[in-house]
Structure 1
């Protein structure tokens, strides 16, 4: 695009006037503030740097380093439940993952190396925590308050567009169990791990096999949400401690999906991934097809769900080899109601001689350990709370719009977003992994990528038009939520299990998208402008400028670019365009049926 740019100092009123003197689609300076330098925040920085000019960006990160949850979580056995070669950006493979399920240290290195490779650290200010954002009625955009965690000073910033990439799995919480402040032993939380503590030879208590209690400021809430940290910790520490007493409250499905079991890559495999053209890409595609083929697991009465439940039940029974534990740990609700976890080595560890399983509620924590609903007290030297995170979608700081409304209040009872990226009546505010996005529907990083692309399309339109505000229409959000609620009735997520996917066992599904990840990617390919409330500064056509095109301002461009020997235009219809994007016709059906395969109960093509 040519260099005629709307100045960054232009007010909404003068923006339209200035545009009349320049060509169509003149770029104005756009100031973006991004909250969080985890995976999503780093991707946003990468996308802006790659695709935009005449912008400024600051990414505020509360931690001392980038990578978000993968910097924070260092507990023994911490790993991702997504196969490692597919827990990467689609365009940025890693050649040397150690195993199918890689450690948090490896994942931290991947995202940190990604930031270093593309020079993204220059946008990031660490040890800075955003504590508030208020819409500025005079000049538009948000006044942002940031706390310097080193000095305690609160500094101010301003942006045209605010992007919340703070994530949902890094706001850790102690379990709301009475007496936790009385415990006199070593108290640890998996999300705030003290690496100086030596567990060898000690009696360790472990609370959690995937659930934790949200802490209310006034009462103990009954809401519980899953975290796989306890499932990962137990098999890691069991061989090294004197004894583990693990406190389990409820059953959960624990098993890798068939075909995606743990596997340590051999030196030969890693060499082939790194040196043989196409080997790694073929492997990644096969795994991704398998992950995308799992969506049928989440639909009731499908072949995929029924077969997976049979497989999981058999796997758990074979590994537990204990009728007492089988009866209590194998659920009676459908596979997938909670997030699935591979649970590498967990079930086997429960049967080890130095592991005691206590099933039921913990009534209180005493000075020595835990007192449970069976009346027994269980003393321990070290008490580990594998109790996860507060996964409320409410912002962790006030977000105030022009009318004075706070998004924290608007989402206090139920978080209702537009496609997981924006909130009605909160203009120029974008969210990664917001309510009802595909956080558990299939491959998650590919979903984050399409969110970033969608945001960039909105930012591009904002930059090249005299738009003052954009936000999803309230009626569009309401219709989306109604469609989502109706869709969820046929999913296993609707089962009466306690899950962070919903606020209560019988409550609405607030975390997940009403469809597969591939479904989400297709839904997000184009901006549905009719769903957005857009307001302009001045005449809405001021962006048309002085009558000149951008092409005429570029002396190196072909001013007759549309004259050619044949029609080589890209497809205009959605169907033909999608066939080009998804490379329709290039995959043999037999080759495509990987891992769980393609559900025979899938709906027919229309």
Structure 2
């Protein structure tokens, strides 16, 4: 357990204990929270705080002009989500308005913007404000936060008891590390910083990258440009998993979603269950992985219909080592007359275009870099712990978190989509909801149980990383592919959870306080207060609520709670799991 060491903290502890001793048990002290980012995670955090808490102050600092994070920023041609639309909503907030199985970025922005407006979440948001540093305040036991007002250029200062980082993973874009990029005299674009004023019609366009962004861009621009030269340096699996191909919803389908009772819920559950059934794809040697490999191999060959492209673009490593991408129309575009595929490395960018390792220079009018983001998980600002360490430096070589949401030695600091969370294991928004709920439980303890600080124990994080590294050996992610899931083909897997999304949801149901270093404001039992319960100060409450005619209480075992939660016995699954651990 941590100690309160400074005079200021000791004085604060005495004051805190005195306040609690005059209040009923579990009295809620005021808590100040700062959240960084108003993307999907930040908006959900605000929704949960507003729904479940009182006596708090929440400020969300957002660098953009609008909410929705990456879905506000990314506006390149063909930009969309590679997760089916009806699985890319909050579990409690469906919409019948999606136009297709895979929706574009404008539709997704509209979903989160509508969510923010519906629940009044924008009142918490300060747009065009970027956090530039967070420093532990020993006197107050929280963080002094510096923020740059991007409109005025001035720095402002704030303080919080608890700091939430909802800055996201895929929104800190970067140029490719290719020499000479600054020499190029044509129009240079990055997919994540798109200039909508640039006209591509009639131009010879160069496209660097065949990740998710490049796969979306090519088929969108190909019919409208004079020529595309696409530069590809490595193979990748491109095709949707069977059953989740792109499909535009018909007027009849959308009408059923809107008007037929239970139709939308049934469809959403089918999509979500389908995604949750695919985790075995990522485990080497499973029938699901083998079948998916054969299916994708056949589909890629069918769509490419070109022996050279088949040889270069179909990987030798397992399906799923890199993120699976739907690739609607991408493979077909590679065979169009106005598309040239250059396979290999770009040695340098010249004034005219790209000089490749085949010794040829490829001039282009416009050069599009679909080269992704900084996915190192380091904070984008100095985050200074009580002992003076900066998390940017601590996580420089390998980020090590507790269950994807906290760092040892950095108290009262929580992260959405941190290292080794299920960002590629299944439905990601479901995982974000689990993280938000976990955070709410910690904040509740902080507010009602006299906690001063909380941070995961180092040995707990070390044990988690050891478990994770051992588990990953049997996954396809361990293959030697180049992926943002890890910092090198041979490096440790830092982005993904060691299990399925459903596995993560169950793991996050309980807060294991034995894994946390906790310090208190004075006597740890000061939360017991003045001897009165909260029931006795509520004249509208039932003062004998525990007297019943039968035992109708909630299950007390994990097994019983789980069966109640997942409605065990109400559906018939097509997939079974045996005691040997094979699907």
Distance 1:203 1:601 in 2: 58
Distance 2:370 2:308 in 1: 23
What does the per-residue CA deviation read over 1:549-603, in whole Å, with 9 as the maximum and x for residues that have no partner? 00000000000001111110000011011000000000023xxx3xxx5678972
Q: Would the aligned equivalents of 1:302 and 1:601 in 2 still touch at CA under 8 Å?
A: no
Secondary structure in structure 2 of the residue aligned to 1:541: helix
TM-score (norm 1): 0.94
Q: Would the aligned equivalents of 2:128 and 2:149 in 1 still touch at CA under 8 Å?
A: yes
1:127 paired with 2:128, answer yes
Counterpart for residue 92 of structure 2? 91
Q: Would the aligned equivalents of 1:303 and 1:600 in 2 still touch at CA under 8 Å?
A: no
Distance 1:305 1:72 in 2: 35
Counterpart for residue 34 of structure 2? 33
Seen in structure 2, the aligned counterparts of structure 1 residues 462 and 531 have a Cα distance that, compared at 3 Å, is: same
What does the per-residue CA deviation read over 1:344-387, in whole Å, with 9 as the maximum and x for residues that have no partner? 00000000000000001101101011110011111111110011
Counterpart for residue 70 of structure 1? 71
**Structure 2 unaligned blocks of 5 or more:** 1-10
Distance 2:564 2:384 in 1: 43
TM-score (norm 2): 0.97
Structure 2 matches for 1:291-310, cutoff 5 A?
Answer: 291-310=275-294
Secondary structure in structure 1 of the residue aligned to 2:392: helix
- 1:96, distance to aligned residue in structure 2 (A): 1.2
Structure 2 matches for 1:193-208, cutoff 5 A?
Answer: 193-208=194-209
Alignment partner of 2:463 out of 462, 473, 479 = 479
Counterpart for residue 510 of structure 1? 494
Alignment partner of 2:304 out of 320, 335, 357 = 320
Secondary structure in structure 2 of the residue aligned to 1:11: helix
- 1:48, distance to aligned residue in structure 2 (A): 0.1
Distance 1:53 1:290 in 2: 38
Alignment partner of 2:222 out of 231, 238, 246 = 238
Distance 2:14 2:34 in 1: 23
Counterpart for residue 527 of structure 1? 511
Alignment partner of 1:333 out of 293, 317, 329 = 317
**Structure 1 unaligned blocks of 5 or more:** 1-9, 211-227
- 1:465, distance to aligned residue in structure 2 (A): 1.4
Aligned residue pairs total 573
1:57 paired with 2:58, answer yes
- 1:11, distance to aligned residue in structure 2 (A): 3.2
Counterpart for residue 581 of structure 2? 603
Counterpart for residue 154 of structure 2? 153
Distance 2:372 2:498 in 1: 25
Structure 2 matches for 1:415-454, cutoff 5 A?
Answer: 415-454=399-438
Alignment partner of 2:383 out of 396, 399, 410 = 399
What does the per-residue CA deviation read over 1:446-504, in whole Å, with 9 as the maximum and x for residues that have no partner? 00000000000000000001111000000000000000000001000000111111111
1:142 paired with 2:120, answer no
1:171 paired with 2:207, answer no
- 1:12, distance to aligned residue in structure 2 (A): 3.2
What does the per-residue CA deviation read over 1:49-102, in whole Å, with 9 as the maximum and x for residues that have no partner? 000000010000000000000000000000100000110000000111000000
Counterpart for residue 223 of structure 1? none
What does the per-residue CA deviation read over 1:509-530, in whole Å, with 9 as the maximum and x for residues that have no partner? 1101000000000000010010
- 1:604, distance to aligned residue in structure 2 (A): 6.7
1:409 paired with 2:398, answer no
Alignment partner of 1:576 out of 553, 560, 565 = 560
Counterpart for residue 232 of structure 2? 248
Counterpart for residue 4 of structure 2? none
Counterpart for residue 111 of structure 1? 112
Distance 1:480 1:245 in 2: 45
Secondary structure in structure 2 of the residue aligned to 1:409: helix
Distance 1:582 1:132 in 2: 42
Pairwise CA RMSD: 1.1
Distance 1:598 1:440 in 2: 22
Distance 1:392 1:403 in 2: 23
- 1:139, distance to aligned residue in structure 2 (A): 1.0
Seen in structure 2, the aligned counterparts of structure 1 residues 152 and 66 have a Cα distance that, compared at 3 Å, is: same
Secondary structure in structure 1 of the residue aligned to 2:524: coil
Distance 1:237 1:29 in 2: 53
What does the per-residue CA deviation read over 1:384-405, in whole Å, with 9 as the maximum and x for residues that have no partner? 0011111110101011011111
Alignment partner of 1:359 out of 326, 330, 343 = 343
Q: Would the aligned equivalents of 1:205 and 1:247 in 2 still touch at CA under 8 Å?
A: yes
